A and B are shown apart, each in its own frame.
Chain A
């Protein structure tokens, strides 16, 4: 099946306006990073007890998003589903951009950015997750570049090999990112289910974002998109949501059941504003509502509802990333079991993390930077197909959607 890829014109007012806004945001965030480099990171909301804040949350969020994009790309590359060939290039490109965003978020968060380009390479610590992971991320970017090249050049065998490699490498990347937290002796981090939970949430958030991007891009550029493709992706997303819910359920049930982590888990699930983020953000808004919408026949076959569910899933996973990183730091380690601390010089109990405006600017600037790269890529590279149609009925969708006439 021939698919014609064509870049967008990119000369409209909206395009240049968007580019301008993104450039302004990048500059604002760069200035905020500059302030933190020269004055000290006390300008952010991070404190003695909460040394990892919004930037790390966004870093793990972006890394997670790259997985789902690759799954959509792999549908064509590995499984040979020709109807997903139109999205393969865009998905691989987006995956690469999300990885770059993750790396950038981490780099701008370091205390000594001038050293972070030298020391991790010259003095690599093979047993540190923070050493292994950037190496995995950078390798992943390289493999994505090779995969993109194979897709552009329409090289069949290399595409297949590259796409298998990239999916397996993505699995390592996400397991490694989960391991950053899971392998550390902190009460709310230390669970072996965190890497799988990470992979599951990554798949669901990435697939959701792909749905949103595909539908909006095709609408904006007025290119034809067969709704059967979106419906099938919606079903895939529904499966990912269920798997992610399962792992989260087991993870929290185990933590709560164990007596030693019960108090910490109670704080995690019901304490302060996390309770709201967990039950409201992750479970209800992020999982139950989208899953029910996608499984119900009427809403699961309507594109606006699918896009709405995808947005909810992205919000839910964002809450989940926050819940992975922050409550584990806010809750203190139990240094004196059976004793209570009556007087301290530093905060020894539960603390609260409040993000600062400068951190928000930094996060926005990273997002804007990959936004700029994305829209420039759309303009200068043939990433988008001219149309995306299904020509053959698949068993699953045969009663639901019409198929296009073969040209």
Chain B
């Protein structure tokens, strides 16, 4: 009878261990990072308003702040799958916000988000480099760039940009 009890508690131990690692660690990590992000002194990141010939953005600021990806996905589906090209493109954002560091990355870094748009779509990281020598590898937000020096380990083409 004791043997059965030991076996039962051993099974319980295994179940609890799995429960901890599979469920509680990811949830706990997310909670902790969320609390830290909210309580950070910077709060909502500041995006400098550029000088441009347009009066306002294509959508309101509040909508853009919390739903811009929905707009981008809708445009993407219309353009790619239906071939309907309107006035708004990813590149139209560049007309007022030419610099990814001061625009996209401000919020993305604050919430620790890495969309992989920029591995394929050109968006210069800084305005100094727009004069022709920009290369795709400096996008920095593609899964391939998880390691610090993409390409160098296996002898791929990595230049200084």
**Which residues of A approach B to under 8 Å, CB–CB?**
35, 37-40, 43, 114, 380
Interface of B is mostly: loop
Is residue B136 contacting chain A, with contact meaning CB distance below 8 A?
no
Q: Is the interface of A mostly helix, strand, loop or mixed?
A: helix
Q: Which residues of B contact A37 (CB under 8 A)?
A: 143-144
On chain A, the residues within 8 Å of B156 by CB distance are 39
List 6 interface pairs A-B (beta carbons < 8 Å), by A numbering.
A37-B143, A37-B144, A38-B150, A39-B144, A39-B156, A43-B154
A258 to chain B, nearest CB (A): 40
Q: Please give the distance in Å from A335's CB to the nearest CB on chain B.
A: 29
Task: List B residues at the A interface (Cβ < 8 Å).
Answer: 14, 143-147, 150-151, 153-154, 156
Residues of chain A contacted by B145 (CB below 8 angstroms): 38
Alpha-carbon distance between A35 and B150 when the two chains are bound, in angstroms: 10
A35 touches B143 (CB 8 A): no
Q: Which 4 interchain pairs have the tightest Cβ spacing? A: A38-B144, A39-B154, A38-B147, A38-B146
Asked if B151 and A39 sit within 8 Å, CB to CB, the answer is: yes
Cβ–Cβ < 8 Å partners of A380 in chain B: 14
Give the complex CA separation of A114 and B144 in angstroms.
Answer: 12
Residues of A within 8 A of B14 (CB): 380
Residues of A within 8 A of B153 (CB): 39
Alpha-carbon distance A43/B153, docked complex (angstroms): 12
Give the complex CA separation of A43 and B155 in angstroms.
11
How many Å lie between the Cα of A43 and that of B144 in the bound state?
A: 13
CB distance from B12 to the nearest CB of A (A): 13
Known: A38-B150, A39-B144, A39-B153. 4 other contacts (CB 8 A): A38-B146, A39-B150, A40-B144, A380-B14
Q: How far is the CB of A115 from chain B (nearest CB, A)?
A: 10
CA distance A134 to B156 in the complex (A): 34
Shortest beta-carbon distance, B87 to chain A, in Å? Answer: 28
B11 and chain A: residue at smallest CB distance: A380
Chain B residues within an 8 Å CB radius of A40: 144
